[in-house]
């Protein structure tokens, strides 16, 4: 049932991201569904292991997990 190779590949990718919990304080709630991930590639690619990728996972209508690729995030922060 579980694809252990896939889970193992995720386990190697996700430590390369900064994990942030985002609280929605607006009147517009986050949408949650059976496929809620949002991938925003700030570079040319949009995969979960792509440089510059930002992954947004709404957990509830008011709370989301945001994962930002570490290397790109630090470059961005240094330039701001």
**pLDDT in the model for residue 80:** 67
Q: Which burial class, exposed, middle or buried, applies to 33 when counting CB atoms under 10 A from its CB (0-12, 13-18, 19+)?
A: exposed
**pLDDT in the model for residue 22:** 93
**Using CA atoms, how far apart are residues 52 and 46, in angstroms rounded to an integer?**
9
Residues of the chain with pLDDT under 70: 1, 73-76, 80
**Using CA atoms, how far apart are residues 60 and 33, in angstroms rounded to an integer?**
10
SS3 content of the chain, % helix, strand, coil (to 5): 30, 30, 40
**pLDDT in the model for residue 21:** 95
């Amino acid at each position: 049932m579980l694809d252990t190779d896939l889970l193992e590949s995720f386990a190697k990718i996700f430590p390369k991201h900064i994990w942030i919990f985002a609280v929605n304080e607006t009147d517009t709630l986050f949408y949650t569904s059976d496929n809620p991930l949002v991938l925003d590639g700030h570079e040319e690619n949009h995969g979960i292991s792509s440089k510059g990728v930002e992954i947004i996972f709404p957990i509830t209508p008011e709370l989301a997990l945001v994962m930002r690729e570490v290397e790109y995030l630090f470059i961005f922060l240094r330039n701001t």
